[in-house]
Amino acid sequence: MSTPADDELWSAIGDPTRRTLIDLLLSSGPGTATSLSAGLPLTRQAVSKHLAVLDRVGLIRAEAAGRERRYRIDQAQLARAAAQLATVGATWDARLRRIKSIAEAIERSRTDTEGV
């Protein structure tokens, strides 16, 4: 069962723009709203709002850099999110294997009765 904090985390990650910002911070290192908006079709203000959401859920951390804030990935929180995603993936893989097994059993049963 997810917690409200997890729901906020996954809601934040669910937005394509915020995933792009995470990718930029991972590939280029820390950046400001101004530097991050330079390569995006968004205003600095829009990028700032997305960064605030990521900061609120702990995926990034902000540090004062003159008049701006410099954002960087919080590696521990990102690792936690990745671990949760791996757990969810493993759970769904197990469910899908079980569904496949049931479907194959039904198909074998049908084939056996039709062959009689």
* DSSP H stretches of helix in the chain: 4-14, 16-28, 33-37, 44-56, 75-114
> Is residue 97 included in any domain, yes or no?
no
The C-alpha atoms of residue 83 and residue 4 are separated, in whole angstroms, by: 17
Supply the CATH number for residue 32's domain: 1.10.10.10
> Is residue 83 included in any domain, yes or no?
no
pTM: 0.74
The pLDDT tens digits for 42-79 are 999 999 999 999 999 999 999 998 898 999 999 999 99
Q: How many domains does the chain have?
A: 1
The pLDDT tens digits for 25-44 are 999 999 999 999 998 999 99
> Is residue 93 included in any domain, yes or no?
no
